[in-house]
Structure 1
Amino acid sequence: MLHFPSANSAAHRPSARDVARLSELLDDDVWAFSNCRVDAAGKPVAEIDWFFYNIRHGTLMVSEWKGFPQRVLSATDTGTQWLLEGGVMVANPIEQVSRQLDAVRAVLRSSILPQHFPAFEPLQLRLMQSVYSPQVDDGTAIERIRWGKVYGRLPELAAVISNSTSPAPLLVPSSEARLKLANALCALFRTSFPADVKAKLHASKKEASIDVVHRISEIHRQIAALHGELAELTLLAAGGDVHPAEPQPRPKAQPAATKPADTKATAKKDSAMTEQQRMQAHLARSFRGVNGSADEAGKALEKAWAAVLDDPLLHGETGISVSLFGSTGSPLVKEKHGSLAKLLGMQLRKWCVLQAKAAGLEPSDVAGKPSNIRVR
Structure 2
Amino acid sequence: MLHFPSANSAAHRPSPRDVARLEELLDDDVWAFSNCRVDAPGKPVAEVDWIFYDVRQGTIMVSEWKGFPQRVALATDTGTPWLLEGGMAVPNPIEQVSRQLDAVRAALRGGILPQHFPAFDALQLRIVQSVYSPQVDRSTTIERIRWGKVYGDLPELAAVIANSSSPAPLLLPDDGARLALAGALCALFRTTLPPEAETRLSVAPKGGDSDVVLRISAIHRQIAELHAELADLIIIAAGAVTKPAQPPAVGTAPRAAVKDAPPKANAAPAAASKTPALTEYQRMQAHLTRSFQGVNGSAAAATKALEQAWRSVLGDPLLHGESGISVSLFGNVGTPLVKEHHGSLPKVLGMPLRKWCVLQAEAAGLEPRDVPGKPSNLRLR
Same fold per TM (> 0.5)? yes
Deviation by residue 1:240-289 (Cα, 9 ceiling, x = unmatched): xxxxxxxxxxxxxxxxxxxxxxxxxxxxxxxxxxxxxxxxxxxxxxxxxx
| Corresponding position of 1:38 | 38
| Corresponding position of 1:85 | 85
Contact 1:2-1:28 at 8 Å conserved across structures:
yes
| Corresponding position of 1:70 | 70
Structure 1 residue 104 displacement after superposition: 0.2
**SS in structure 1 of the partner of residue 97 of structure 2:** helix
Amino acid across the alignment from 1:109: R
User: What CA distance in whole angstroms lies between the structure 1 residues aligned with 2:77 and 2:11?
Assistant: 29
Residues 81 and 165 from structure 1, CA distance in 2 versus in 1: closer, same or farther, beyond 3 angstroms? same
| Corresponding position of 2:193 | 193
Contact 1:2-1:30 at 8 Å conserved across structures:
yes
**SS in structure 1 of the partner of residue 112 of structure 2:** helix
Structure 1 residue 121 displacement after superposition: 0.3
User: What CA distance in whole angstroms lies between the structure 2 residues aligned with 1:121 and 1:139?
Assistant: 42
User: What CA distance in whole angstroms lies between the structure 1 residues aligned with 2:160 and 2:134?
Assistant: 17
Which 4+ runs in 1 deviate beyond 2 A? 207-216
Contact 1:175-1:211 at 8 Å conserved across structures:
no
User: What CA distance in whole angstroms lies between the structure 1 residues aligned with 2:57 and 2:212?
Assistant: 9
Structure 1 residue 175 displacement after superposition: 2.0
| Corresponding position of 2:125 | 125
| Corresponding position of 1:164 | 164
Give me the TM-score of the superposition, normalised by structure 2. Answer: 0.55
**SS in structure 2 of the partner of residue 126 of structure 1:** coil
Give the CA RMSD over aligned residues: 2.3
| Corresponding position of 1:103 | 103
**SS in structure 1 of the partner of residue 31 of structure 2:** strand
Deviation by residue 1:44-88 (Cα, 9 ceiling, x = unmatched): 110000000001100000000000000000000000000001110
Deviation by residue 1:202-239 (Cα, 9 ceiling, x = unmatched): 1127x6799969959x89xxxxxxxxxxxxxxxxxxxx
Amino acid across the alignment from 1:108: L
Write 1 or 2 for the structure with the bigger share of helix: 1
| Corresponding position of 1:94 | 94
User: What CA distance in whole angstroms lies between the structure 1 residues aligned with 2:187 and 2:210?
Assistant: 25
Deviation by residue 1:175-217 (Cα, 9 ceiling, x = unmatched): 2211110000000001000011111011127x6799969959x
Residues 183 and 50 from structure 1, CA distance in 2 versus in 1: closer, same or farther, beyond 3 angstroms? same
Residues 209 and 177 from structure 1, CA distance in 2 versus in 1: closer, same or farther, beyond 3 angstroms? farther
Contact 1:56-1:213 at 8 Å conserved across structures:
no
Amino acid across the alignment from 1:22: L
| Corresponding position of 2:14 | 14
Residues 191 and 143 from structure 1, CA distance in 2 versus in 1: closer, same or farther, beyond 3 angstroms? same
**SS in structure 2 of the partner of residue 204 of structure 1:** coil
Contact 1:173-1:211 at 8 Å conserved across structures:
no
**SS in structure 1 of the partner of residue 10 of structure 2:** coil
Deviation by residue 1:23-53 (Cα, 9 ceiling, x = unmatched): 0111111000000000011111100000000
Larger Rg belongs to: 2
Amino acid across the alignment from 1:44: P
User: What CA distance in whole angstroms lies between the structure 2 residues aligned with 1:96 and 1:213?
Assistant: 46
Matches within 5 A, 1:290-309: none
| Corresponding position of 2:140 | 140
User: What CA distance in whole angstroms lies between the structure 1 residues aligned with 2:56 and 2:68?
Assistant: 34
User: What CA distance in whole angstroms lies between the structure 1 residues aligned with 2:124 and 2:154?
Assistant: 29
User: What CA distance in whole angstroms lies between the structure 2 residues aligned with 1:213 and 1:17?
Assistant: 39
Matches within 5 A, 1:352-367: none
Give me the TM-score of the superposition, normalised by structure 1. Answer: 0.55
User: What CA distance in whole angstroms lies between the structure 2 residues aligned with 1:50 and 1:213?
Assistant: 36
| Corresponding position of 1:115 | 115
Residues 135 and 158 from structure 1, CA distance in 2 versus in 1: closer, same or farther, beyond 3 angstroms? same
Percent of residue pairs identical: 74
Residues 140 and 215 from structure 1, CA distance in 2 versus in 1: closer, same or farther, beyond 3 angstroms? farther
Matches within 5 A, 1:255-270: none
Amino acid across the alignment from 2:37: R
Matches within 5 A, 1:314-353: none
User: What CA distance in whole angstroms lies between the structure 2 residues aligned with 1:191 and 1:85?
Assistant: 36
Contact 1:94-1:131 at 8 Å conserved across structures:
yes
**SS in structure 1 of the partner of residue 156 of structure 2:** helix
User: What CA distance in whole angstroms lies between the structure 2 residues aligned with 1:90 and 1:213?
Assistant: 55
User: What CA distance in whole angstroms lies between the structure 1 residues aligned with 2:63 and 2:17?
Assistant: 17
User: What CA distance in whole angstroms lies between the structure 1 residues aligned with 2:112 and 2:73?
Assistant: 40
Structure 1 residue 172 displacement after superposition: 1.1
Q: Return 5+ residue gaps in structure 2 as ranges.
A: 219-381
Amino acid across the alignment from 2:53: Y
Structure 1 residue 162 displacement after superposition: 0.3
Residues 103 and 89 from structure 1, CA distance in 2 versus in 1: closer, same or farther, beyond 3 angstroms? same
User: What CA distance in whole angstroms lies between the structure 2 residues aligned with 1:9 and 1:153?
Assistant: 28
Amino acid across the alignment from 1:67: G
Q: Does 1:48 align with 2:48?
A: yes
